[in-house]
Structure 1
Amino acid sequence: MYSEKCSEMWCRVPLIVILGATGTGKSKLGIELARKFAGEVIGADSMQVYKGLDIVTNKVTSEEMKQVPHYLIDFLNPTENFNIVDYRNMALSKISDIDSRSKLPIVVGGTNYYIESLLWKVLVQHECKIIKTVPPEASNSVAADVSARCEFTHLSNEELMTRLEAVDAETALRLHPNDRRKVLRALEVFEQEKRPLSEILREQQSEDGSSPIGGPLRFPRSIIFWLQWDQGVLDEDLDKRVDEMIEKGLLQELLDFHSKYNAERLSSEAEADYTKGIFQSIGFKEFHPYLIMDEAQRETEESKKLLEKCIAEMKMATRRYARRQVKWVNARFLSNINRATPKLVPLTLKNAANWDTEILEPAVAMVQKLLDGETTVATPSEQLSEEQIVRQRKKSEPCREFCEICQRLFVLRDQWEDHLKSNKHKRRREGLKKHEANCKKQKLAEAESA
């Protein structure tokens, strides 16, 4: 069982982490390194923890699992609730077990906040406290989650932000009113801890000298391999992968699952909720209009057109998700240039035929250096150019800017500056100028005629 009392042990454990956008070959590299260095793989994917739906969640095959032991994959009932604290505790226990058998733990996944919860010690410390205060009468994790949030969930985003500004202005300043989940979490912290989240985080940082994002490293002997592709090449490959999923039976997989787990929801006429559990997987929301058709409807020409639209939307959602994953790495692993971070090694594949030379061989060399005792702890400032450092500083700089032209609020400096440069903003600004000029001409004409 996981315990922070094991922290002395974490200091000596060599840990390999493989992250990157969906479709970049993380699982393949994890298996190759595990075979080379007697390693075992721990999944870090919030959707692959659930049983079934192997195609839509793109799980490793049973043959691959036979080659290398894999953990925290395909073990949870799809209707069960599973949060970041559950994952962290289970993953750390598994890392301890793997190390005790003199094997190399390799964490592989696309859910970067799962990975972050392992690498830094106090990232979710306040969330652990909150979970412990849930009333014992809550019969299961879903009920517990509802119990913790029931006081606020009926409020609008604006009402939630007003409440947060009253009790924790510092946290409210750095959150967007539409980021409902984070605003709710900050309010829950205040209600259950009787003090602001910002105060709790400051205390944690002063105790261990950590940065505003997470605390000190849990695994000083660790390396992060960041797999990257040219974005255009990756987009094409992701589109092909969706087509391959369809060929493998994605539609039938979704239909079977939808029929089994959504029958009760459909009979009660409740709306589909794609914000919880396995239903967050890319595919459910995009194919929902097709999934709720009966068999006769699916044979019509209209349904075939709808299916094509669903496939196109899944491809678009997958490409967008890949971009968000890249942004997350930049924002969370590189944005704070003063904190300790594992050595981040970008591995860029420019040609699929060069996998061994561009990906595998550099990774093998780095792992060997780690096992030979080379220091891997660094700060992002040691891994970035001066230009990148300036850019990353700006990305993490908070602001509170409202665009009157587009009626949008921005809470990060780089997002605000990007918006001002965007074509959408420029078009609206020019349109507003033309409208004002036309109004002025009309008033002048009316004055002259009068």
Structure 2
Amino acid sequence: MMRISLSMCKQTVVLPDRASGMLNLVDFFSPRRQKEKVVILLGATGTGKSRLSIDLATRFPAEIINSDKIQAHEGLDIATNKITEEERCGIPHHLLGVINPNTDFTATNFVDMATHAMDSILFRSQLPIIAGGSNSYIEALVDDKDYRFRSKYECCFLWVDVAMPVLHHYVSERVDKMVENGMVDEVRKYFDSNANYTRGIRKAIGVPEFDRYFRAEPFLDKQSRAKLLQEAIQEIKRNTCKLASRQLEKIHRLRNKKNWKIHRLDATGVFLRRGKEADEAWEEFVAGPSTEMVAEFLYNVSSEALVTKAALRECIAQCLVA
């Protein structure tokens, strides 16, 4: 299971000022800027959006806003794959595990709460990083009818992409790991024979799939229970892969039909490696390039600027190991 390495919980990067030939956080938080800046992370389930959000939030002064409509609900931390307290590295998270599990969390709810969270984060001179898999909710926020968001905010869209066959294999392994970590017992606590699986947290993949198993469980022998359990687990894997495919289609639509300027980061190589090699590949293909893109976005670095990309790269590297 691809988890956030606690070694990534580093100090916030504070770059030297322009007078010394480098960059300054004052450039980002200057009242002269016409628009506030927001970083938005996209990607199918399991691609590493949460990990990247932590990487960026430990390298820049930032807070994270969850945009996964299921993870916004309280409960089912294993089944919904919520980032743990330890993995958050002390970074403040908003809209994560705060909604009543029996209450629907609509796109309108998300827009209202995310807008409030962004205002609060910016008031503290922090960068809002929005990360999650509910692309329709992000679309509702960014492309609102009155164009209010676009008129107020400038966005840097980063897309963590993984080749679908590789991602499908990974999410299948991730489901097995979730089962090992106690997902079945966790979901069993939410089982209700009269439950409505179209409302609240019970819409989450991993909940309705167990319904038939929980109903039949008391009446089956050990072998039959094991068979029915495996059928439920396989259904969860299929539905998770279908979700990933739908999420990818939505990202392509935002990029190709709505012309969102989305920067793609190919993380396939990360998922083909293990251990230290995977961490090194993550830094090379995802975290490193993302850090450079966000730095350029925040500090208006261009090829014509006095500070070259090579100098920026060296400065960031020095700050990270300091």
Q: Which residue identity lines up with residue 141 of structure 2 in the other structure? A: L
Counterpart of 1:421?
none
Shift of 1:322: 0.2
2:64–2:91 Cα contact (<8 Å) kept:
yes
**Structure 1 pair 252–14 and aligned structure 2 pair: CA distance change class (3 A):** same
Deviations 1:414-443 (A, max 9, x none): xxxxxxxxxxxxxxxxxxxxxxxxxxxxxx
Residue 224 (structure 1) aligned with residue 160 (structure 2): no
Contact 1:30 1:108 in 2 (8 A): yes
Deviation string, structure 1 residues 98-131 (Cα, Å, up to 9, x no partner): 0111111000000011111221231xx7xxxxxx
Number of the residue aligned with 1:85: 108
Take 1:117 and 1:280, find their aligned partners in 2: how far apart are those partners?
20
Work out which of the residue numbers 268, 281, 285 in structure 1 matches 2:208: 285
- 8 Å CA contact 2:141–2:149 kept in 1: the answer is no
Question: In the alignment, is residue 106 of structure 1 matched against residue 129 of structure 2?
Answer: yes
Instruction: Give 2:68's aligned residue.
Output: 45
Is the alpha carbon distance of 1:56 and 1:219 closer, same or farther for their aligned partners in structure 2, counting shifts above 3 Å? Answer: farther
Q: Is 1:321 matched up with 2:243?
A: yes
- The equivalent of 1:350 in structure 2 is 268
Letter of the structure 2 residue corresponding to residue 364 of structure 1: T
Contact 2:162 2:267 in 1 (8 A): yes
Q: SS state of the match for residue 250, structure 2?
A: helix
Q: 1:67 is paired with a residue of what secondary structure? A: coil
Q: Could you tell me how far 1:254 is from its partner in structure 2?
A: 0.6
| Gap change, CA 1:235 and 1:373, over 3 Å in 2 | same
Letter in 1 for 2:229: L
Give the structure 2 partner of residue 192 of structure 1: none
SS of equivalent residue, structure 2 residue 297: helix
- 3-state DSSP of counterpart to 1:312: helix
Q: How far apart are 1:9 and its partner, in Å?
A: 11
Distance across 2 between alignment mates of 1:299 and 1:96: 56
Residue in 1 aligned with 2:222? Answer: 300
Structure 2: stretches of 5+ with no match in the other structure: 1-30, 271-277, 303-322
Counterpart contact for 1:10–1:218, Cα < 8 Å: no
Rounded to whole Å, the distance in 1 between the matches of 2:153 and 2:114 is: 17
Rounded Cα–Cα distance in structure 1 between residues aligned with 2:152 and 2:289 = 21
The structural deviation recorded for 1:323 is 0.3
Q: State the alpha-carbon separation in 2 of the partners of residues 241 and 256 from structure 1.
A: 21
Counterparts of 1:177-216 in structure 2, within 5 Å, are none
**Counterpart of 1:361?**
288
Q: How many residues align?
A: 263
Aligned position for 1:276: 199
> Does residue 1:68 correspond to 2:91, yes or no?
yes
Q: Secondary structure at the match of 2:282?
A: helix
Deviations 1:4-44 (A, max 9, x none): xxxx9995211000010000000000001000001100000
Tell me if structure 1 keeps the 8 A contact 2:40–2:131.
yes
Distance in 2 (CA, whole Å) between partners of 1:59 and 1:216 is 27
Taking the aligned partners of 1:218 and 1:114, their CA distance within structure 2 comes to 18
Q: Which runs of 5+ in 1 are unaligned?
A: 1-7, 126-207, 209-214, 376-450
Preserved contact between residue 10 and residue 219 of structure 1 (Cα < 8 Å): no
Alignment of 1:131-210 (within 5 A): none
In the alignment, what sits opposite 2:185? 252
Code of the residue aligned with 1:355 in structure 2: it is W
Contact 1:221 1:370 in 2 (8 A): no
Deviation at 1:221, TM superposition (A): 2.1
Bigger RCO of structures 1 and 2 (CA < 8 A, at least 6 apart)? 2
Structure index of larger Rg: 1
Pairing partner for 1:30 from 29, 40, 53: 53
Superposed CA RMSD in Å reads 2.2
Identity %: 33
CA distance in 2, matches of 1:48, 1:308: 25
Contact 1:98–1:104 at 8 Å: present in 2 too? yes
Q: Which letter maps to 2:175?
A: V
The 1:44/1:314 distance shift into structure 2, 3 A limit, reads same
Q: Deviations over 1:177-234 (max 9, x none)?
A: xxxxxxxxxxxxxxxxxxxxxxxxxxxxxxx7xxxxxx87245521111111111111
Contact 1:56–1:245 (CA under 8 A) maintained in structure 2: yes
Alignment correspondent of 1:120 = 143
**C-alpha distance 216-29 of structure 1, shift in aligned 2 (>3 A):** closer
Q: Distance in 1 between matches of 2:200 and 2:186?
A: 17
Matches of 1:66 and 1:333 in 2, distance apart? 31
- Counterpart Cα distance in 2 of 1:20 and 1:77: 26
Q: Distance in 1 between matches of 2:197 and 2:300?
A: 46
Query: 1:327/1:219 Cα in 2 relative to 1: closer, same or farther (>3 Å)?
Result: farther
